Structures are given as structure tokens and as C-alpha cells.
Amino acid sequence: MKNSRSKVINNYTLELGSSGSTGTGSEIETAYKTEAYLSSVSVAAGGTCTNEKTFYTSTVYRGSGVIYKIDESSKTIYFITCYHVINGFEDKVWVLLATSLKPIEVSVVAYSAHHDIAVLKYVSSDLVDTLSGCKAIKTFDSSYISNGEDVFAIGNSLSSGLSITEGDVSDTNVMIRISGNSFDTRTIQTSAEINPGNSGGGLFNAKGEFIGLVNAKKHSVNSGSETVTVVGTAYAIPSNLVIGIADSLIKTKNKAIQVNLGAVFAHDINDGMRIEYISHDGVYKPIETYTVYVRSVTSGSVAHGKLKANDVINAVEFSVVENGVTKLIKVNMFNQHIFDYYAFSIIEDSVITFFVKDGTGERQVQVVASAVASEAISTASSMN
């Protein structure tokens, strides 16, 4: 369903405050969608871009993004998109805001090719004029998303401008492997219709809060000798992971920083969460399940003498800071990249407890997260 830019903006008639909207159910829904729309952007990379027409016709890659932060002190607008949207053209990236007909050329702060996330920025002497009513996303804690929850996606579908599609959360814990990668990514599966050009756009809950970054879809599966077309199966990187990496990239300007325990986690095909292998274009491969274990521990690291090779990890508990408040969280060890989800916000020098499978029970192993280091990811070579 395509919403014209003028129609959406003209429908923005309700006052939204910290306590939400007032009005009828349909009016509130329209206001939430409008707020999310105003935080969404189209992204283009490579080629030539001088106006709205060339943005859609003369660039090499076209996708979507969201406005992440508006820093008034530095006059800077930060955007988030998928790295594969700009891959290879990091020096030629443009953003088109929902309320504008004039693309702005942005610079790449940094990116994680590993997680398919890139942070862009634009410095403006007049933020009010540049934004023209657009605003930053409101973020929701993706660990509280439920299966069956109503959601909608906003993106530059088929390179024809921002549009809104509706669906629900089909699964909160689907592992996918993008073609060309040797690792798996945790995603939210949604039935919202996604097309080429939606990559890097936002997935929002019913209140217009950002819950994920759209990065892949599935359009066919192999059924015996036939290829069957699939609809309503798309994926988004959870907001907690997106924000953790984005904040780290903005802070360091060239790499994502996360807790490093000196332990490498891997998985065996066994029993646990499912993994669906899928490309950005929707090529499907078989499903696997797995159990997480410790593959190796670096001598002299904080985990040395605590964890050991072949330890099977059932769960992990640690402290994070959320909205300025320290919280103790316990989660199942659902994949070998467990810390991808939380490691960017784990408190340095705090205690991390691993629940290790031990015969018919489990033992607890405590490790102090005193070491913080860079993960092995790619970063832009020509950063500003």
C-alpha cells in the first residue's frame, strides 16, 4: 500500500506527547504511523544524484533508512541503514527525507559489515529547515516483542518512494545467514510485505516505535523438484542490537566496541533455535538447529580458568544500563553470537554468570567483564 508524501503529512493533525495521543482509534493509529513515517528516509548510493529524479533513476543502489539521532549541539543528524545498501559506494551516499524533494549528500560515520549496519551523518547549520518536520525514531526494547504483535514497515519499496505495509510478528527469534557470510544473524520475522528497496528501513510496532531494521526477505522455497513462491516472510535486525552497534559506531567513529571475554562461542547442529539460510533476495536453504558451546578460550583472558573448551552454555546473566538504570538480565544462550545482542551495553567490570550444562544439571561460572575490545569487523576507510 503506497502512501503519498503529501497525504501522510496532511494527516498529521494530532498532538503526541509522552503519554500518547488523544482521539479515536483510527486517528491515533494514523498519528503513530505518521510519526514513524517522519522518521523514515530513502537512501541511495553510487552513480549520480542531483535531484529527486536522479536519486531514483541514476544511482546504483537504492534502499531505506531511519533518522536515529538529532544532535543539536553539533548540528548533526544521524541515520541508520543496512550496510549492503551502500556497500562499495561509501563515498557517494544520499538521503531523501520524507518531507523533502531535495536529496542531501551524507557521509559514512562507520559500519559493521558483520551485522549489516551502517551509520550515516549530515551536518546542517539549520536543523529545523533541513528536517522540515521530520524527527528521530522512538525506540522500543525488542526483547519484549511478542509473536503475533501488529507491526508495520516503512521503506523505499521498489525505489518508488516511502510506503507503509502492515503485518505481524511471525517469530521473534529466527536465525538467518545472508549469502556470502559465514555467521548467523538473529532477526525478527514479520509478515509485513517487503520488496527490494525496503532494506535499511524501519519495522515499527503499533505505537510507531522502532523495533527492527529490515534487512532480508524470503520469496521462494525448494519443495521437492519445485520452487514455491513465498509471500509475507521478511526479516529485521532487532532494535536492541541495531542501537547498541549504532551507538558504539558513533562513539568510536570507526569500529563497534563490545565486551571481550576471550571466549569464542560456536554451535553444533543439535537441538535448539532454528536457523534459516536466506539471501537478501530471498534464496532459501535448509533449516538447522543447534546447541551453543565454548569452542576455545584465550590463555590469559578474563574467561581463562573459568570457561573451558566444549562447555555447553544454557544461559547467561549480566548487568546492562538501560535509560540510565542498571538492570540484571538473564537470557538463554540462543546462538554463538549471544553477546552481539547485549555486549555493547554490558557494564565494564561487572560480573557475568554463565549457566553451564553439567551432566543432568548445570553449574554456574562467573566472569568479570573487565576487558573491552574491538570486535573483528570492517569499517569505512574514508570516514569523516
What would the pLDDT profile of 302-343 be if each residue is shown by its tens digit?
Answer: 889 999 998 988 888 988 776 678 888 887 765 444 565 567
What does the alpha-carbon distance between residue 32 and residue 302 come to, in Å, rounded to a whole number? 46
Residue 95 in contact with residue 79, Cβ under 8 Å? yes
Residue 345 in contact with residue 352, Cβ under 8 Å? no
Burial of 363 (0-12, 13-18, 19+ CB in 10 A): exposed
What residue has cell string 548510493? 45
| Strand pairing class (40-45; 93-97) | antiparallel
CA dihedral 192→143→117→303, nearest 10 degrees, is -150
Q: Please name the residues in contact with 215: beta carbons below 8 A apart, sequence gap of 6 or more.
A: 82, 84, 116, 178, 185, 187, 199, 200, 235, 236, 237, 280
Confidence of residue 17 (pLDDT cuts 50, 70, 90): very low
- Confidence (pLDDT) at 104: 97
Residue 211 in contact with residue 154, Cβ under 8 Å? no
pLDDT in tens, 271-289: 444 555 554 555 544 445 5
CA dihedral 339→345→347→348, nearest 10 degrees, is 70
Where do the H-state alpha helices sit in 232-353? 239-252, 338-342
Higher-pLDDT residue of 158, 292:
158
- Confidence (pLDDT) at 241: 84
Residue 332 in contact with residue 315, Cβ under 8 Å? yes
When the pLDDT of each residue in the chain is averaged and rounded to a whole number, the result is: 79
SS3 240: helix
For residue 62, what is its C-alpha cell? 537504492
